[in-house]
Structures are given as C-alpha cells and as structure tokens.
Structure 1
C-alpha cells in the first residue's frame, strides 16, 4: 500500500467549425469570450475533454490568451494522468508542458502560469528516466513557490508543493544516488511533515476536492499518524461526489480507513 500511495501522490467533441475571429482592442474577440464562457461551464460540469477542445480553439485564434493556455495545460496534465497507455500519457503531458511554457513566457509572475508549469513538469517527469525525472522534480518546487508568492491561497499549488515534499522525502536508493551525483544531494528541507502541512493547506482552500484528502491521508499513513489519517479519511467520505474518478478515490479512502481502524 505504501508503494501505491507514493505512486499515486507523484500520480467531446465540438463538431461545428470555429467561428472566424473578430479582433477587438487588446487582442480579445467577442467570439473567444463566448468560447471561454462555454468552456468554463463545461469544466463546472466535469466535462474536461469538451472544455479542453474549446480552450484550444481559443488558443488557435488568440495564441497569447493567458487564461486559455493555463487552462489547457492543466487539463492536459489531468486528462493524461488518467490514461494507462504511456503513449497517450506522454502526448497529453507534452502538450501540457508546451502550453504551460507559452503561458509562463507571457507572464512569469502569474500564479496560474507557474502552477501550470509545476504541474506539467511533475507529470512529465514521471515518464522520464531517473536523471530526467529527478531534474523535472527538482524544477517543480520553484514554480510552485512562485505560484504561491502570487496567490498564497492557490490550492493546486499547495497540493503540488506537498507532493514535491513527499517525493523528495521518500526517494528510493537509486534516486538518492542519482540526486547526489547530478544535483548535489536530496533537498534538505523536504520532509513528510512539510508535505502534510502543504497538502493540509490545499484541503483548507479547496475543501471539496477528495484527491487532496486522499493524498493527505497517504502522507499521514507514511508518518504513522493513525489519528490524523483516520480523521482525514472520515472527512473525505462526507463529500458529495460527481465523477467516476472521485468515486474511485472515495472507495480507496474507505479501504484505507478500514485498514487504519483495524490497527
């Protein structure tokens, strides 16, 4: 189960043709505004793939649309993480990084562009070899930190930072050796305690996200803090769920809770 939790932490088609852009002051278009509104509505209904297509349609018409680039990047990271097939994963993660880099170049101080970079790097690192994986993971923290400087209540950035702390605090022997050779050693500030603190803040700022509760419970389990683990899982199981992914996380929370209560 420890290996599973660690891996977990580290882990619609619009048929009409796009409308012709009508350029307005500042590079925005009324058509793109409508597309953005429709995309946000789809996101609120958990229709990630349909929303992604609309955000990418906006990008095709206005390549410097920061919001669309950030949203598309995060969605590619999220959708890619659901695939078991590595080819499909890599396709989405590569696109996530491309959009994140474009957004970051537009505004390197923006919370969302830094969050998109942190998430894209973390996801793509999991598909790389030991050196490339560690290199990607090492880069994650600077972007997560920058996102939180811009917006200290960014739940997603706190979650990514917490996963970074957890991963760096629990490197396996080969990863520790590679980190020492290529990067001068493991980051001394990484610990399970800091991972728990960061993910707990993600929970505080987004109290309806069951993934944050599950990841926090995994950290508490690694810390052998049964009381905190049980409390976190019990809170997770009170949430109203909408998607199959959330239901699966709820099932895993229930299993972990039973295990913790038997100890």
Structure 2
C-alpha cells in the first residue's frame, strides 16, 4: 500500500513538472507569435511573465532584452529610453550569467550597450562602444552566421568612423584610443548581414547611409530601392521603409 502511495506521489510531481515545462514553452511560443504579428509590447509582457515563473529561462531573457531595446528606442523621452535600455542590459546580463557562450545572449548585450551609448554623455558613450564591439564579436564567434551581429558591428564601425573631436579625445584619455573603425568596414559588415539575412530592413537603411557617407551614391540608391520592396517583418519596418523612401527621394 505504501509503495502504491509513493508511486502515486512521484507520478503527481513528475506530471506537474511536465505541465510546468509545457506551459513555459507555450508562453515562449506565444511571445514569438506576437512578435510575428508585430505586437512587440505584448510579446515583451509575455516574456516577462515567463521570467516570473522561471527567472533563468535564457530564451525569455534574450527576447525580453531585445524587445526592451526596441521599445526604448521608440520612446520620445530620454528618461523613458534609459529605463528600457537599462532593463535590456539587465536581462542580457542575466542571460550571460546563465549561458555565457550563447550567441543570442551576447548579441542582445551588444544591442543594449549600443542603445545606451546613443543617449549617453561623451565618456559613457566611448566606454559603452567598447562593449558593443566585444559582445557583437562574441556573438559571431559562437554563431558565425549571426546576421544581426554583423549589423551591430557595421553600426559600430560607422559610429567610430564618425566620432567627433571631443569623443576621440575622451577615447584617448580613457583607453588610449579605440580600435580603428571605418566606413569601408561598416559597409563590409552591413553587406555580410544582408547576405546572411536579406529580409532585415533596418540593415538596408544603415547600409545606404554608409554608402552615401562614403560618396557611393549609386550603391546607396540601389540599396534603398530594394528596401522599399521588402515585406515588413518587425514592428518598426514600415517606419524604416518610409525613411528609406524619403532618403531615396532626397537623393534623386
């Protein structure tokens, strides 16, 4: 009788564990579906729900970090931006603690640090930019076909190539300088991203800007013409295509 009771208890706990795991998997699947529907605010909330149940769930941490960076970028108020970007960094840090060799965890950290750099003062911007490069390169190390990580490296090269006098002096004072960044390398990174993921619309806009900055007008216009024909996948894609269209009109 006692053996039957113990067997029943074990079955109950094992069954509960299976249902628990299934519910988390279903919640993550629901979050991804919301992303596909371009409902990123709702997807972010769903990832946060997962993390209340399972705080170290890496896929949810990565998703929450990436979407926090995107949500923050949409905010008009600088303080609101900073709150989202800090959350993105916090989720990325936790993901890296759990899975330091995970390409996605390193990628979202590079994105979070890049977003922080764009709203920071000169010294903070320079300091953050070093981490952007570090984590993007780690993402590529762990997944050499990580298109978005090449995009981040392209953005890093573009921004470093266009640092102003104060920023370059800050980099020299803090770190003895920054690694060389160039428009040519930015273009190479963006083109690598485009080869790996031809549907990534933001990459087209940034690639066109780099070509234009490098006085390659024809190439810039060709990239923009292609961008406006692509199907929107992410919530911001329609706005990005509108920016591409305006840039193309201004160049014609």
Task: Please give the TM-score of this superposition, normalised by the length of structure 1.
Answer: 0.86
* Partner of residue 128, structure 1: 120
- Alpha-carbon contact 1:115-1:147 (below 8 Å) kept: yes
* Partner of residue 253, structure 1: 244
Q: Distance in 2 between matches of 1:153 and 1:142?
A: 17
* Partner of residue 70, structure 2: 78
Q: Distance in 2 between matches of 1:61 and 1:244?
A: 27
- Alpha-carbon contact 1:196-1:216 (below 8 Å) kept: yes
Tell me by how many angstroms 1:240 deviates.
Answer: 2.2
| In the alignment, structure 1 residue 142 sits paired with structure 2 residue 134 | yes
Unaligned runs of 5+ in 1: 1-21
- Alpha-carbon contact 1:130-1:178 (below 8 Å) kept: yes
| In the alignment, structure 1 residue 176 sits paired with structure 2 residue 165 | no
Tell me by how many angstroms 1:242 deviates.
Answer: 6.0
Q: What is the 5 A alignment of 1:14-53?
A: 24=17, 29-53=21-45
- Alpha-carbon contact 2:117-2:126 (below 8 Å) kept: yes
* Partner of residue 159, structure 1: 151
Aligned-pair Cα RMSD in Å: 1.8
1:91 corresponds, among 78, 83, 87, to: 83
Question: Which protein has the larger Cα radius of gyration, Structure 1 or Structure 2?
Answer: 2
In terms of mean alpha carbon deviation, does 69-78 or 241-250 score higher? 241-250
Q: Matched residue pairs, number?
A: 238
Tell me by how many angstroms 1:251 deviates.
Answer: 2.2
* Partner of residue 209, structure 1: 200
* Partner of residue 215, structure 2: 224
- C-alpha deviations, 1:70-93, integer Å up to 9, x for none? 010000001100111112111110
SS at match of 2:75: coil
Task: Please give the TM-score of this superposition, normalised by the length of structure 2.
Answer: 0.89
Q: Distance in 1 between matches of 2:66 and 2:17?
A: 27
- Alpha-carbon contact 1:110-1:147 (below 8 Å) kept: yes
Unaligned runs of 5+ in 2: 1-14
